[in-house]
Structure 1
Amino acid sequence: MPQAGRGLSTEIITKVCFVACTFFTVAMPVSAAEPIESFLQKHCIRCHGPEQEEGDIRFDQLSRDFKSGLDTHHWAEAIDKVNSGEMPPQDEPQPTQDELSAFVLHLDSRLKQGRAARMAARPAIAHYRLSRREYQNTVYDLLGVRYDPAKPGELNEDTLWQGYERIGSQLSLSPSHVDRYYGAAEIVLDRAFLQAASEPRKVRKTAAELRYGGGKQQQEALDLFGIKRPLRYLLFPGRVQPALSANWLGHTGPEHSGLYKLRLQASGIRPPGGQPAHLSVGKQTSEETVDGLIEFDITAPEDSPQVYEFEVFLEMPTQLHFCVVATDGIDRRGGAAFRNALVSRDGYLFTHSSETRLLNPNAPQMFDDQGNGIFSTVLLDWVEWEGPLVTEAEKSRRERVIPPADAAPAEVAEYLQRFAERAWRRAVKPQELDDYMRSYLGEREAGESMTDAYRIALQGVLTSRNFIYLVEGDPTPRPRLNDWELASRLSYFLWSSMPDQNLFTAAKSGKLSGEVLSNEVDRMLSDGRINRFIDDFSRQWLQLHRVGMFPPDKKLYPKYDDWLEASMRAEPVEYFREMLVNNLPIESFVDSDWTMANARLCDFYGLPEPKRDGFQRVSLKPDDHRGGLLTMGAVLGLTSDGTRHRPVHRGVWLSEALFNKTPPPPPANVDPIEPIPPKGNKITIRQRIEAHASNASCAACHRNIDPLGLAFDQFDAIGQWRTREHVPTGVGEDPLVDASGVLPDGRPFRDAAQFKQLLLEDRQRITRAFIEHLCTYALRRVLTVDDQDAVEAIVDEAKASQYGVRDIVRAVALSDLIRTR
């Protein structure tokens, strides 16, 4: 960059230099300041100074007090951009190798010299509030109680930071939070004390009972025809039908909330070349849809119905409905009148499609003259509900919490202390519980039973900051975690919940280090609770909460439905599960010859239909245009606006997820991309972005972002492959898509496939970013320049283990960074 001050008088330049030198005399030695200031003045200040402020960065205004750490993240980013060759830009005068080395060496030295002071300035005690999901898991592992904190009226929604819902600085505690935590504790204790004695109930409804009011009259008709098959219930697209009514299980008040088992026998009919029937069970949201609690494909053929079994947590009382999801909807065959005829009890009998004697030619036609289904349809034989269910493990957790009915105060105090140690995840002194015991004794003196009085004490424990927060540190500052804190950090990292008894025992004995720590991490990675980490981390890292945020236009994307959206959201999670469980190399995140798909995704992607229900590994060919995370429907869809793809947003997402770099926001005064006028020539979004990015204030950022998103222009707003871009306005034919580009470092690519191959050359950079994401998730805070050496050590270990994803997660869990406050 040309030297700053060009065009200014000699007097002004002298004053500026005097001020800068005076400041650096205070902030750092002159020998260290000169190479840094010289480089900045010569190569940076013109674009990041008083005349111009690209990326909202002005080097002349950044703090040079490296002990305070106010702007250390900006200085660290400067080193990173200079080292990578990204800065100064290629169209500006380039520094010599000596200049580069001197700048990086001296700036890095100043950052490291200030590290001890910055670390010492951290709060002596840190508090990290549990997220809603962590609260849910913790009360289950502590008391064996199922509780849904996301239900309307329960705990407040967590504040997100770039998709993460567990960053400590974002999770404040307002008065409304406090009230809701008290309410949550009451619900949790109600269920812990009452459900242990409740007996599960079971109800079974046959198709004849559900559909035909018992079916006596219809059975007489079958007997007349000599038909031996039982009556069946047709569930078809476009209408919701009862799955569980409030009165089926008798009185079901809130005390009956809990785990329920659903069993049903069903088979499916699909049109030739159409989708298999997909059944959703949940609460009705409209005449045609439900909010699915259970989602599954019905692939069993009509002649061989299958028994399907699920477990689901239900807040009682409730009503649930069935909904068949399919794009080949029944509305195309006559709409409401057609549906109403099908649900009329006397208008349509069904046992089997081969029973042509039952298929009245004047009745709605569900099958063609060959017996093929016209719609994706479910044939339900019976449904059964049982619950609330309590496992032996859940009973055990509750029983060890409650003292005997005749327990003396000293014994109650012992029970309370044991409970508090598990709930607060640390050693607890008896005097810390004095107030809770006084509450217990006061309630007893007032005539309350032992159980009710003890509940008051437990409620105090569950609403304490020691339970709601992970607390790290002591009034006397210390640099490392103690064993109790380490146990919690590990368990909330890998299990999204409290430590189990093994971890508590290791922490209590002070042996959570060395081989014991290594064995514990291996055990945790092999435990079923690791699925919580798989679900939570992948969802937050990839920002999957944005999938469906802008519902796709049904006229533009008629193939898009709720089942497809749910399948899309699950694909990257199942993909991550496959990578972690099988310790696959990290480059598979970028590209692979396989994916995880169910029947709906295979239909959408044009892949061979899987041989069994649910998600499974599916092989890919080059002309499938898939492989890795970047070409998944969820990723391509979450960066769209429901009508069109947005290359810039795709580039920003990729930069954040794959490189852990968040581009600066656009300047406030930049005009949006203009739409094409009705009589203008049809051009691609790419061409409109290029015109927009010609603005000098936009060009610098777009140069780094746009190629990352434009590489995927052959995928539309919901991730469908295309060769032409649909342009709704303007004249002429839809233009051909151009997915070529040039990376910021000058490497060209012609399409997404070649772009992904270039990314694979950056494996170490992608590995480092993935490790940074894992550490952000595990530490519950944003990483700083002071974490870089520890992160680099994990990168080196990942390299030594051939970049296996499970090995990387293990290396993070065992790293020095995890043990440092």
Structure 2
Amino acid sequence: MLNTSTIRLAGKLTLAITLSAGLAKLASAEVELPEELYGFLENHCLNCHDSFEQKGDLDLENLPFDLTDKETFATWALVHDRADHGEMPPKKKKRPEKEDLAAFLESLSKSLSTADRERIAQNGRSKVRRVNRFEYENTLRHVLDAPWLQAADRLPEDGTYHNFNKTGDRLDVSHVQMSKYLETADYALRSALNAAAFKSETKRYYARDEGTMIFWMPYRKGLNRLPSRTAIPLLGLSPEPEVIRGTQALTVGDSNPEARNEEAFGFVVGSQASAAKYDFRNVVVPTDGDYRLRIKTYTFKAGPNGRAFGEDHGLTGGKQKWWYPDRNVIMRGDRSEPVTLYAHTLNGESRWIGSFDSYPDPNVIERDVALRKGDAIRPDAGRLLRTQPGWRGNPNADSEGVPGFAMNWLELEGPINKEWPPKSYQALFGNLPFKVHETEEPLPRPPLLTEETLIGWTERGPSIPDRRVEVLPNDADTDARRLLLAFTEKAYRSPLADASAIEPYFAIYKQATAFGESFTDAMIAAFSTVLSSPDFLFMESQAGPLETHQIASRLSYFLWNGPPDEQLEDVQNLHQEAALRAQTERMLSDRKSDRFINAFLDYWLDLKEINSNTPDSQLYPQYYIDDQLTEASLFETRRFFRELIDKDLPARNLIDSDFTFANERLARHYGLEPFEGVQLRRVALPENSPRGGLLTQASVLRVTANGTTTSPVLRGAWITERILGVHIPPPPSGVEAVEPDTRGATTIREQLDKHTSSASCYACHAKFDPAGFALESFDIAGGFQEQYRALGEIGEPVEGIGLNGLLFAYRNAEPVDSSGELVDGRTFSDIHEFKTHLLADERAIARNLVKQFILYATGAPVGFSERQQIEEILDSCQKSEYGLKSIIHAVVQSDLFNIK
């Protein structure tokens, strides 16, 4: 009980309260604490959360009640939620009477809501923020009419807050950032301008022309003028060994068009192998732009040379595996081969640009791609052997031979411009005339090659035409003002006050000309300043309802991750429900909405980190350097989420569904009915399949593992936060992480039992560990597992050959236990029962998704006072069973979206 004789009254009760039995002050700030909270805290909270115990690092005895302080507010909100959810007081403690708990929650909720509403009224929902680097790139594309522009990777990584790169708390601007914006703006402007220096051309590159394809092997000397042992010179299905011996020319050339069209190089390895790489290095991409790529390919099978080692080593159940193909025995392929196309940059990076299937019969595929100046094209037949130094065999080989993939030629058309001059030139200089100056710029040397290996490169390698566009003004100053006004009006996301707004930029232009710069370069300097100005970089944000142009901007940066198009800007009645709904529907149907889906999933589900966890080559050799699986896993989740939106499917599909999207590699990974083909298709899941929903998709399971082991702690916390929307606090300081035992001596469950034996650890782990246990039947890349793998002395040995051609040996250790008990006492034996428990509250799944959309769209998390509005959004979506498109419409129509 409170000793009322020691409570000082000053009109209203203050935080200076002294508790009986020697309790210290409950709080010391000069902010009033509602009277109803005192007794409840003393009777049910302070026994564990006073200044002495401070369990969970929470000291309610000295916690202020200044709700204008961000951290203090968050702590009291956490106190409210844990009491509201029945988590506190703990079950072992005396439970408060319902009336007392209700009074406590009502009083605390009222105070928190009032403070939150005052904050929003004063400061707005979201902070002022700059565009993130992907929004900057998309905005540049719009302003410069250059959809092919790639500039995001020139800017520093953006900070994240509540998992997204959309909030002002992390999107500040430093001097380094400003410098990078100026550099990137200059690069983008010159790319847009120089598009006018290159009219579209079509050039065919025959694989067997000397210098077209560059083969190199890091551990062998020399840049091969003749093909290395990885390449098989072919004329259709006829090998030409004399080419390897040097007694026959690489190609017949134009003297025999029919034979020239049949000539090819064949490969039985993938080009991502470390032992050998092959590129269409001689391709000339003269400038950034859109291009049309055509490539003629086919598949074959190379006969075995008779040297088997499977029998000698007792590997793979005694099945024979063949060392090398016989390049003198080539047969028609017996299946298709999936091929991925990469743009291989001069600095050694590879960028995915497309995938296709190559078939036994020669076929020409066509893809429209965005390329950068100097890119090479790298095809990679990802199912084939990906050799590493010291390789010992081919997992795809059988007694009939080794599968292979052949390329006849590659054709490049572009840069493709539907108008002339290109739209990107017109976006800067309108209809002003220009002339082109040209020099020859040698292609930079390829990476990873020494001076010794570069002998002959300059003679064989291509040169890129270095052209510079010079704009010819009629009246320089008059043209400059006119162009700057048009450019600034398009660049800004709000109307210009008047024409005088461009004067600072015109001054930059005049200063540049005074320094002797040409009209073109002076205008580039002024344009760069516009693209680095606050009006371009920053999203508008001040308290109050959004104006029409601001709704358009918020909607476009939500659904397109970029600025509004002209159609959206022209809508004058976006405050009306019908108009806003129509535009939302139109934008979701546009291809630019892929930007939203990709970016949202990259940050909500951490898909951007899918390449961060490299599978261990010994424990998981079937996943090591398997780029096909990585690619398919990522695209599955994107296509799945797109389907939920397009078909307005219920949010429960996030937890479990009767379908997914898979290609051949993913179907094999999931144990589905086999089929050929690299393209993803919608597939029905068997009734007893553990797949369905996000939880068991390979991408999610991979980003929640570390490449060597799974962890129910990490996976459980991730699922609980990202999918269920339950906040998980960071672990207390000084608590060491649980490291799984890769020797197989103990299971992770046994280690966790010791780790969570203390009440302080168990209180949190009981929330999220069960979700992790339910997923223990899935390995580090999402494959179904019944036993853990280990590298120690325990368990049954498993030996074989990996995709890298190396021998591996691991052990099947302890069996997996995927059972568990939820914090409310419900139990499950496997992933099926776990999903059933989650689906008992579909509204909770939808509620989390609504909150994620609000945060992504507005840059601000849902405030305490806005919780009722979330429930109203959910109420409006009940008829559609919380369909994803319905949720998006409801979010866009809500006040949370339409106020700053």
Q: TM-score if structure 2 supplies the norm length? A: 0.77
Deviation at 1:279, TM superposition (A): 3.4
Residue 392 and residue 599 in structure 1: after superposition, are their counterparts in 2 closer, same or farther (change >3 A)?
A: farther
Q: C-alpha offsets along residues 524-552 of structure 1, whole Å, 9 cap, x if unaligned?
A: 22222111111111121111122232211
Asked if 1:169 corresponds to 2:174, the answer is: no
Asked if 1:584 corresponds to 2:649, the answer is: yes
Q: How far apart in 1 are the matches of 2:354 and 2:192?
A: 29
Q: C-alpha offsets along residues 552-577 of structure 1, whole Å, 9 cap, x if unaligned?
A: 11111111112212222222112111
Residue 725 and residue 327 in structure 1: after superposition, are their counterparts in 2 closer, same or farther (change >3 A)?
A: farther
Specify the alignment match of 1:420 in structure 2. 488
Find the partner of 2:359 among 295, 301, 314.
301
Deviation at 1:677, TM superposition (A): 10
Deviation at 1:770, TM superposition (A): 0.7
Alignment of 1:96-245 (within 5 A): 96-122=97-123, 126-145=127-146, 146-151=148-153, 154-209=154-209, 217=249, 230-237=262-269, 238=273, 240-245=276-281
Specify the alignment match of 2:891 in structure 1. 812
Q: Secondary structure at the match of 2:570?
A: helix
Alignment of 1:411-450 (within 5 A): 412-429=480-497, 430-443=499-512, 450=519
Specify the alignment match of 1:388 in structure 2. 415
Contact 1:164–1:541 (Cα < 8 Å) also in 2:
yes
Contact 1:207–1:233 (Cα < 8 Å) also in 2:
yes
Deviation at 1:682, TM superposition (A): 3.1
Deviation at 1:644, TM superposition (A): 0.9
Residue 799 and residue 83 in structure 1: after superposition, are their counterparts in 2 closer, same or farther (change >3 A)?
A: farther
Residue 765 and residue 451 in structure 1: after superposition, are their counterparts in 2 closer, same or farther (change >3 A)?
A: same
Q: Secondary structure at the match of 1:86?
A: coil
Q: Secondary structure at the match of 2:413?
A: strand
Deviation at 1:398, TM superposition (A): 4.1
Q: How far apart in 1 are the matches of 2:35 and 2:683?
A: 59
Find the partner of 2:32 among 14, 24, 27.
27
Residue 526 and residue 379 in structure 1: after superposition, are their counterparts in 2 closer, same or farther (change >3 A)?
A: same
Q: How far apart in 2 are the matches of 1:728 and 1:447?
A: 69
Specify the alignment match of 1:793 in structure 2. 872
Q: How far apart in 1 are the matches of 2:733 and 2:658?
A: 43
Contact 1:279–1:295 (Cα < 8 Å) also in 2:
yes
Amino acid of the residue matched to residue 374 of structure 1? Answer: V
Specify the alignment match of 2:453 in structure 1. none
Asked if 1:757 corresponds to 2:836, the answer is: yes
Asked if 1:482 corresponds to 2:547, the answer is: yes
Residue 88 and residue 135 in structure 1: after superposition, are their counterparts in 2 closer, same or farther (change >3 A)?
A: same
Contact 1:54–1:697 (Cα < 8 Å) also in 2:
yes
Q: Secondary structure at the match of 1:545?
A: helix
Amino acid of the residue matched to residue 811 of structure 1? Answer: A
Q: How far apart in 1 are the matches of 2:420 and 2:780?
A: 46
Contact 2:208–2:264 (Cα < 8 Å) also in 1:
yes
Q: How far apart in 2 are the matches of 1:46 and 1:732?
A: 49
Q: Secondary structure at the match of 2:263?
A: coil
Q: How far apart in 1 are the matches of 2:618 and 2:125?
A: 57
Amino acid of the residue matched to residue 122 of structure 1? Answer: N
Deviation at 1:450, TM superposition (A): 4.6
Q: Secondary structure at the match of 1:176?
A: helix
Contact 1:676–1:730 (Cα < 8 Å) also in 2:
no
Q: C-alpha offsets along residues 12-31 of structure 1, whole Å, 9 cap, x if unaligned?
A: 8428668338868x514xxx
Whichever structure has more helix as a proportion of its residues is 1
Specify the alignment match of 1:635 in structure 2. 700
| Range moving further from structure 2, 790-799 or 120-129 | 120-129
- What residue ranges of structure 1 are gaps of 5+ in the alignment? 6-10, 340-364
Specify the alignment match of 1:525 in structure 2. 588
Specify the alignment match of 1:567 in structure 2. 632
Amino acid of the residue matched to residue 486 of structure 1? Answer: I
Residue 297 and residue 455 in structure 1: after superposition, are their counterparts in 2 closer, same or farther (change >3 A)?
A: closer
Deviation at 1:675, TM superposition (A): 6.2
Contact 1:521–1:814 (Cα < 8 Å) also in 2:
no
Asked if 1:468 corresponds to 2:537, the answer is: yes
Q: C-alpha offsets along residues 418-461 of structure 1, whole Å, 9 cap, x if unaligned?
A: 32122111011222221212333455677765544433332221
Find the partner of 1:651 among 716, 719, 742.
716
Contact 2:291–2:370 (Cα < 8 Å) also in 1:
yes
Specify the alignment match of 1:283 in structure 2. 344
Contact 2:337–2:359 (Cα < 8 Å) also in 1:
no
Q: How far apart in 2 are the matches of 1:673 and 1:607?
A: 34
Q: How far apart in 1 are the matches of 2:601 and 2:793?
A: 41
Q: How far apart in 2 are the matches of 1:725 and 1:366?
A: 26
Amino acid of the residue matched to residue 544 of structure 1? Answer: L
Asked if 1:593 corresponds to 2:658, the answer is: yes
Specify the alignment match of 1:689 in structure 2. 752
Q: How far apart in 1 are the matches of 2:101 and 2:727?
A: 24
Deviation at 1:803, TM superposition (A): 0.8
Residue 57 and residue 544 in structure 1: after superposition, are their counterparts in 2 closer, same or farther (change >3 A)?
A: farther
Specify the alignment match of 2:402 in structure 1. 374
Deviation at 1:71, TM superposition (A): 2.5
Q: Secondary structure at the match of 2:637?
A: helix
Q: TM-score if structure 1 supplies the norm length? A: 0.84
Q: C-alpha offsets along residues 349-377 of structure 1, whole Å, 9 cap, x if unaligned?
A: xxxxxxxxxxxxxxxx998775xx523x2
Specify the alignment match of 1:95 in structure 2. 96
* Number of aligned positions between the proteins: 758
Deviation at 1:218, TM superposition (A): 7.2
Q: How far apart in 2 are the matches of 1:693 and 1:318?
A: 53
Residue 367 and residue 522 in structure 1: after superposition, are their counterparts in 2 closer, same or farther (change >3 A)?
A: closer
Q: Secondary structure at the match of 2:754?
A: helix
Contact 1:503–1:520 (Cα < 8 Å) also in 2:
yes
Amino acid of the residue matched to residue 426 of structure 2? Answer: E
Deviation at 1:171, TM superposition (A): 1.6
Specify the alignment match of 1:49 in structure 2. 50
Q: How far apart in 2 are the matches of 1:624 and 1:366?
A: 27
Amino acid of the residue matched to residue 14 of structure 1? Answer: S
Q: C-alpha offsets along residues 171-215 of structure 1, whole Å, 9 cap, x if unaligned?
A: 221211111111111111112222134212322123443578998
State, as a whole percentage, how many aligned pairs show the same letter: 29
Contact 1:144–1:394 (Cα < 8 Å) also in 2:
no
Q: How far apart in 1 are the matches of 2:736 and 2:125?
A: 47
Q: How far apart in 1 are the matches of 2:649 and 2:530?
A: 43
Q: C-alpha offsets along residues 1-48 of structure 1, whole Å, 9 cap, x if unaligned?
A: xx999xxxxx98428668338868x514xxxx3332322222223333
Q: Please provide the CA RMSD for this pair.
A: 3.6
Residue 407 and residue 367 in structure 1: after superposition, are their counterparts in 2 closer, same or farther (change >3 A)?
A: same
Q: Secondary structure at the match of 1:384?
A: strand
Q: How far apart in 2 are the matches of 1:391 and 1:281?
A: 25
Whichever structure has more strand as a proportion of its residues is 2
Q: Secondary structure at the match of 1:725?
A: strand
Asked if 1:399 corresponds to 2:468, the answer is: no
Q: How far apart in 2 are the matches of 1:650 and 1:366?
A: 33
Residue 229 and residue 196 in structure 1: after superposition, are their counterparts in 2 closer, same or farther (change >3 A)?
A: closer
Residue 645 and residue 92 in structure 1: after superposition, are their counterparts in 2 closer, same or farther (change >3 A)?
A: same
Q: Secondary structure at the match of 1:782?
A: coil
Q: C-alpha offsets along residues 260-283 of structure 1, whole Å, 9 cap, x if unaligned?
A: 222112233579999944334342
Residue 22 and residue 86 in structure 1: after superposition, are their counterparts in 2 closer, same or farther (change >3 A)?
A: closer
Specify the alignment match of 2:847 in structure 1. 768
Asked if 1:725 corresponds to 2:784, the answer is: no
Q: C-alpha offsets along residues 611-641 of structure 1, whole Å, 9 cap, x if unaligned?
A: 6541111111144321111011121121212
Q: How far apart in 1 are the matches of 2:711 and 2:124?
A: 42
Q: How far apart in 1 are the matches of 2:518 and 2:861?
A: 48
Q: C-alpha offsets along residues 438-495 of structure 1, whole Å, 9 cap, x if unaligned?
A: 333455677765544433332221110111121223xxxx422222222211110010
